[in-house]
């Protein structure tokens, strides 16, 4: 199954000023997160950023701020490790509005709330084995399709990061890379955003 930009939302987790200096391959990971935010802006994919305990860990790093502004991202501050525990699911799946008119006069398919239009969550962040992992597993539990962008995730150690990927794969999460996301969202070299995408990934 390929990613479809029209069915996706992007969640970027906890790339924070006082956290990133301790992370493995931090510069490359932040650069890929910024690429994802810019790609989401090009493709009109909604973006949510999270910040864990921002009073202690600081704001999102400068290297990601411009991309988040370009994508018009919303930021969710949290204390729980899983962002789902802080309401992320409600942000990703807004409550469906009740159908208008007399229920008796409506066909049956209009009498139920519409399903969420963007069920595929493209997720990246740190630490991979803590906040990102717990959020991903909770999203799976909430019936979202979750795709984790491995080259935009990190932990303090390689062992912890890779253990998170192993566990996520076992839970049915799709593991992808930044370039996989880019090329699957576009699908064709004829896409109007193709040249702009190339500038981001090359």
pLDDT tens digits, one per residue of 45-75: 999 999 999 999 999 999 999 999 999 999 9
- Examine residue 125 and state whether it is found in any structural domain, yes or no: yes
- 102 inside domain: no
Domain that holds residue 181: 5-91+119-201
Residue 106 lies in a domain: no
Taking 60 as the threshold, does the pLDDT of residue 117 lie above it? yes
pLDDT tens readout for residues 153-179:
999 999 999 999 999 999 999 999 999
Q: pLDDT band for position 108 (50/70/90)?
A: low
Task: Give the CATH number, domain containing residue 64.
Answer: 3.40.50.850
Number of residues in the chain: 202
Domain count for the chain, please give it. Answer: 1
Whether residue 111 is contained in a domain is answered as: no
Between strands 145-149 and 8-13, the pairing is: unpaired
Is the pLDDT score of 113 beyond 60?
Answer: no
Q: Would 114 be classed as within a structural domain? A: no
Task: Give per-residue burial for 59-87: e unless 16+ CB within 10 Å, then b.
Answer: ebbebbbebbeebebeebebebbbbbebe
Sign of CA dihedral 183, 186, 188, 193: negative
> Cα angle at 62 between 58 and 67, to 5 degrees?
120
Bin 187: left if φ > 0, else alpha if -120 < ψ < 50, else beta.
left
Q: What DSSP string describes 138-177?
A: HHHHTT-EEEEEGGG-B-SSHHHHHHHHHHHHHTTPEEE-
Judged against a pLDDT cut of 50, whether residue 83 lies above it is answered with yes
Residue 112 — pLDDT band, cuts 50, 70, 90? very low
- pTM for the whole thing? 0.89
Mean pLDDT, rounded, for 16-40: 97
- Parallel, antiparallel, or unpaired for β 120-125 and 8-13? parallel
Residue 97 lies in a domain: no
Inside any domain, residue 174: yes
The pLDDT of residue 98 is 52
- Answer whether residue 107 is part of any domain: no
């Amino acid at each position: 199954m390929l990613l479809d930009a029209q069915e996706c939302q992007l969640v970027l987790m906890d790339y924070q000023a006082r956290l990133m200096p301790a992370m493995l391959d931090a510069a490359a990971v932040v650069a890929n997160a910024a690429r994802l935010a810019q790609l989401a802006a090009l493709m009109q994919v909604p973006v949510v950023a999270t910040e864990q305990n921002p009073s202690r860990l600081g704001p999102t790093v400068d290297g990601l701020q411009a991309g988040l502004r370009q994508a018009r991202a919303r930021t969710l501050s949290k204390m729980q490790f899983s962002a789902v525990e802080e309401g992320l699911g409600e942000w990703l799946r807004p409550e469906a509005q009740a159908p208008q008119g007399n229920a008796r006069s409506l066909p049956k398919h209009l009498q139920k709330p519409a399903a969420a239009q963007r069920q595929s969550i493209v997720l990246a962040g740190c630490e991979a084995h803590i906040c990102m992992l717990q959020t991903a597993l909770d999203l799976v539990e909430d019936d979202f399709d979750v795709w984790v962008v491995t080259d935009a995730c990190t932990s303090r150690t390689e062992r912890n990061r890779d253990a998170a990927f192993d566990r996520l794969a076992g839970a049915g999460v799709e593991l992808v890379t930044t370039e996989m996301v880019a090329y699957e969202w576009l699908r064709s070299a004829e896409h109007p955003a193709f040249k702009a995408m190339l500038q981001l990934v090359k």
